[in-house]
Chain A
């Protein structure tokens, strides 16, 4: 059983919901990404999602775009990101790590090389924003050989018949994009999310995690009440970046982001307590 399946099975058994922080590898500095991952886990992260820096992050809002830019100023490449996962694995054999990025760095590395490097580093899942089901076939073949989950996105605009196709090919979990727009944008409509999740659940038993638009403990709690997990990215990165921009050290920036994640963790846990 893959680390992701084991993790979600455990969460389900315990009646919990997954909290998944997203950070850009190498932002604000390459050397502190791995310590930050451990601290996020200690603060209640069930899965860690690492963004692979890209020069043209087309689906990101301004906050995460700047995270990518900072990471690129630190010269962090896809190979470096995989190296970070490898180092993380030396001290944490259980927490699933998924990497999220764009197609071109993976294309450049080459699919077979990339898949085996992921397996060697201990990566559990991959989200590639610009590889929809129509384009992901060749990469998927390579990922399957090394048992890495390819995590598909479903959005509010995905028609019913497409949901069927996507869920038939998905593994690990389904990532539901809660708002039409870029990361960190928009106002989350929990009732709308609930309606869409019901449509997806009628097609699959895979866990469904929701991302885009979750900003704080309250919105995480609201979404956590209807989803199997919540993904938080922009809010963490914004908190960290603001502390650093106002004169704080990168470590202080991370302190703030970790505190926010801890409050999101308690928000999600409390909401389960009240509905259970």
Chain B
């Protein structure tokens, strides 16, 4: 394992076929293959184009508000009495989550391709809002597919998207959540592939999406690395991030992969408990398979049917995970664990009251594990948690669980 950790090793994935070890690839219908090839060709050209990078960086600075701060959560760290916990404040980005880093990048690609219509899938609605936002800014026609169940539990974000001029299409097939929204987005793309750019919201889907979303989100880890060195004079000892599809986690982890001293923890949604089967933790309890254009760990039955997932957080309620995470699990570079619904809700309240930072329910899963980890470590050690999004969108869910009528 040790000799495998080098920047070159981690830069070698994905390979030209879009594979991360056995994972990733391009498992889509023939009609989409040439659109993916066009996207990959354009991206490979722009990724090394200084002009494109300047455009991306400028948008991140002036529109998103980057760099996002690294903040030492002193009261929580003191209360735990172990490692110091630092929060990478992606919740302070425009639109309230890390998702916008990626939609800014993909919107620039859409602009370069001359596509006037963009589509997106969304679970919690954060990616839908971030897509609707960049579409409004560039004057693009935006359609967001969202599971009918998520439309109910994330009504605030649905209204935000509508205010931004996007059309929100509730998806009533299957389990009516994120996976079904992605099915429907793929069906739309195959139909309108000539004029439509599909803004995928996470590091999943067919190649080149897992690669380009990772690259756009890696700004999180690059900043965190710099900020950690500047603030503490050293690299963090551990990184913690929640994992649904896994874009905020890969964004934080990727620039640290070759730093052997940095331990990494991806926290999946344990739902009612991984042992109950009612969860959304494919890396903890799934098997490799093929869904939504890539080979990766999936929640599935013995016949290869994708099974329903459960999580209190709509953004983690997905039966798959980005293929790079599957690979990082298999090679042992990242540890994947799970946090349950009730633990996440408790952490939501605890962090809101102790630090004055209301985390998204997705993010609260990461905080659960960060607390456990910090308690086993010493005050000289540091943990960076990706505070991937703010919790305003979740207050109706939290109130309802707490039995409060607003």
Contacts and interface: CB of A to CB of B under 8 A. Distances in A.
B30 A103 contact: no
Given A104-B300, A104-B306, A107-B304, A159 B34 contact: yes
B26 A135 contact: yes
Most chain B CB atoms below 10 A, which of A54, A106, A132: A132
B179 interface: yes
Contact of B290 (A130, A153, A156, A185): A130
A108 to B, nearest CB: 3
Contacts of A53: 305
Interface in A170-192: 177, 180-182, 185-186
B164 interface: no
A180 B183 contact: no
Interface string B304-322: 1111000000000000000
B25 A108 contact: no
Contacts, number: 122
Size band of the B side of the interface?
35 or more
A56 B179 contact: yes
B152 interface: no
A162 B34 contact: yes
A199 interface: no
B187 interface: yes
B187 A104 contact: no
A43 to B, nearest CB: 29
B304 A157 contact: no
B179 A162 contact: no
Contacts of B306: 55-56, 104
Size band of the A side of the interface?
35 or more
Nearest to B18: A134
Nearest to B191: A181
A131 B302 CA distance: 20
Contacts of A185: 191
Contacts of B186: 58
B190 A182 contact: yes
B29 A153 contact: yes
B320 to A, nearest CB: 10
Given A56-B291, A58-B187, A185-B191, A78 B304 contact: yes
A134 B29 contact: no
Interface in B244-289: 287-289
Interface in B178-229: 179-180, 183, 186-187, 190-194
A77 B304 CA distance: 9
Contact of B29 (A56, A59, A69): A59
Interface of B: 17, 25-35, 173-174, 179-180, 183, 186-187, 190-194, 287-293, 295, 298, 300, 302-307
The 6 closest A-B pairs by CB, nearest first: A108-B304, A105-B304, A77-B303, A181-B191, A155-B31, A103-B290
Given A130-B27, A180-B190, A181-B191, 11 more contacts: A61-B187, A72-B305, A102-B290, A104-B306, A108-B289, A108-B300, A132-B28, A155-B31, A157-B34, A159-B34, A162-B34
28 contacts: A55-B305, A56-B180, A60-B187, A65-B173, A69-B174, A77-B303, A77-B305, A78-B303, A104-B291, A104-B304, A104-B305, A105-B305, A107-B290, A108-B300, A130-B27, A130-B28, A134-B25, A134-B26, A134-B33, A155-B31, A158-B30, A158-B33, A158-B34, A180-B193, A180-B194, A181-B31, A181-B190, A181-B191
